Amino acid sequence: MTQGLSVPGWGGVAASLVLVALAAVIAYRQRLGLTRELVIAAARAGVQLIAVGAVLLILFRHTGLPGALGWVVLMIVIAGQVAGRRGAGLPHAIRAATIGVAFGSVLTIGVLIALGIISTQARVVVPVGGMVVSGAMQASGVALRRLHEDARAARPAVEARLCLGLSAREAFLPFRRSALRTALAPTIDATKVVGLISLPGAMTGLILAGVDPMTAIRYQIVVMYMQLAASALASLVAARVAERYLFDRAHRLVPLSV
């Protein structure tokens, strides 16, 4: 452990439940109907993190790079399920999300490793992979949700464009672009103000661990760039795959569920 680093013990972790209790009381007093969900979320987060910590301890000590890559694959599968549910109502939404997340994550992580930007140690690949997959998941989920909303709301406009002789891809292009802009806006905004409004997680963690701030900044720059790339690639591929299932072979927009 880095000298001077203060890490809360299990007693401190238990004491932090006071903050959860405060949030639950506020939700109860305001009649938000979220008290039960807050408590369940806090309990679930604690159990999940403890379980994951135990698994990662074994993975870091005994499996090396193959185990780390296997863990990244598992994260991609789970992320595809989560992002796909955001696009519920689209045909094969989970498949589209999983393909998008996998493409963006694998390409980004592969470039980072191939260029020697990050180490191939498991304790580096897993957290970096988690950040990449998380960004890809969020962007893909937003893109698919917006795609579903636009496909339902703009059906008359899309069908009118099809009647004018445009292909399915050309008829839906403005709406795909709108979905991608919506998906990428949060990541772009976060990149614009990084360091001015907040100190991101990777940089904060390194500084807390005693790393020189300039070294932490270099690492954070890499993190922001890789999240931008993964988000853009994942949302684009997910939207393109989903778009293919929106039309039948006769280039007709298929019915969509709510």
Please give the chain's pLDDT, 258 residues, in tens.
444 556 778 888 888 889 999 999 999 998 888 899 999 999 999 999 999 889 888 888 888 889 999 999 999 999 999 999 998 889 999 999 999 999 999 999 999 999 999 889 988 899 899 999 999 999 999 999 999 998 888 888 888 888 888 888 888 889 899 999 999 998 898 888 877 666 667 777 777 777 788 888 888 888 889 999 999 999 999 999 999 998 888 778 887 776
Instruction: Determine the distance from the C-alpha atom of residue 53 to the mean position of all C-alpha atoms in its chain, rounded to a whole number.
Output: 20
Residue 146 C-beta-side C-alpha neighbours within 13 Å: 23
Q: What is the pLDDT of residue 2?
A: 46
In DSSP terms, 198 is beta-bridged to: 194
Among candidates 190, 179, 195, which has minimal Cα distance to 240? 179
Alpha-carbon distance of 114 to 62, in angstroms, equals: 23
- The whole model's pTM is what? 0.81
Among candidates 47, 61, 55, 93, which has minimal Cα distance to 75? 55
Q: What is the pLDDT of residue 1?
A: 42
8 burial (CB, 10 Å; 0-12 / 13-18 / 19+) is exposed
